[in-house]
Amino acid sequence: MRIVFAGTPEFARVALQALRAAGHEVALVMTQPDRPAGRGLKLTASPVKQEALQAGIPVLQPRSLRLDGRYPEDARQAQAALQAVAPEVMVVAAYGLILPQWTLDLPRRGCLNIHASLLPRWRGAAPIQRAIEAGDPQTGVTIMQMDAGLDTGGMLLERAVTIGPEQTAAQLHDVLAELGGQAIVAALQGLQAGQLSVRPQPAEGVTYAAKLDKAEAALDLSQPAEVLARRVRAFNPFPGATVRLPGLAEPVKVWRASVPTTTANAAPGSVLQACPAGIDMATGQGVLRLLELQKAGGKRQPADAFVRGWQAG
């Protein structure tokens, strides 16, 4: 099929790669403008742009697609480019811009979105992290026919996976990125063969995955240990999870944590023990064991190495 692809991060790059490997003609790629990144804040192309340039695919980076918005010239340029390409379908994956109605109407078969959840659960910006944070036993990807709402369009295809008990958001992201690539290829194949029909999303079970905020990093140790351990996994790598430890001026980032079977009769936030096995902290219910930590400006360390440096200081 003749495709326009719209996406920005690594999750989308994997899907673009899968579409090309399946033999689809990606005539144009749309992605977010280059952003400052790294310590030097050097302007950096998105993973999708890098993939497209390597493949020799034309790239468009409008700041907006709204013809009546802040950047109407960008939108008009994008509209002209899309009309010239005349795509059969647009595939969208974590693009980052709202698609106005003219965009949704332009491809003959509409716009298909690769969404990293089993809709209607976890519509919105951070479905991978919110599924882990909530303790969901499974998640997946949904190929959805886009409409003007926030992830409200009809569903074409779903693929489910189990969330592992120690799986982080970074690890689950990689699993779902691969699954998303496989799913969009299967969906386009079914669409071409006339074997897929659009099913409306159920009215029940709708939840929203709010955008991640740096302010969420600080762990509230009055909460149960099980909840906190899930947050550590859900916020790895961003925005991270932090705690305050005695003797240290800055919060410490927690990369891994577990919930031992021990109990605590101490105020939440108290350090119960610090040993090679980990740092045990009292919580609102149960004990949170910190297994891998990082001081501000330091390196990630397993608990035994961190404890030695902490106690020496």
CATH code: domain of residue 20: 3.40.50.170
Helices and strands, number each (H, E), in the chain: 8, 17
Say if residue 231 is in the same domain as residue 159.
Answer: no
* Domain end call among 183, 209, 235: 209
DSSP 159: E
pTM of the predicted structure, to 2 decimals: 0.95
205 plus 218 within the same structural domain: no
103-127 per-position pLDDT tens digit: 999 999 999 999 999 999 999 999 9
171 and 220 assigned to the same domain: no
- What is the overall mean pLDDT for the chain? 96
Q: How confident is the model at residue 313 (pLDDT cuts 50, 70, 90)?
A: low
Same-domain check for residues 180 and 272: no
Q: What is the pLDDT of residue 38?
A: 81
Q: Are residues 160 and 48 in the same domain?
A: yes
Q: According to the model, what pLDDT value does residue 213 have?
A: 96
* Res 264: pLDDT: 84
Count up the domains in the chain and report the number: 2
Whether residues 299 and 163 fall in one domain: no
| Consecutive H or E run containing 214 | none
Q: What is the rounded CA–CA span in Å between residue 59 and residue 259?
A: 47
Q: Within this chain, do residues 229 and 93 fall inside the same structural domain, yes or no?
A: no
Owning domain of residue 268: 214-312
Has residue 312 got a pLDDT over 60? no
User: Residue 289 maps to which CATH number?
Assistant: 3.10.25.10
End-to-end CA distance of the chain: 62
16-61 per-position pLDDT tens digit: 999 999 999 999 999 999 999 888 889 999 999 999 999 999 999 9
Mean per-residue pLDDT, 142-146: 98
**Whether residue 202 is found in the same domain as residue 221:** no
Judgement on whether residues 193 and 285 belong to the same structural domain of the protein: no
Asked if residue 282 and residue 158 are part of one domain, the reply reads no
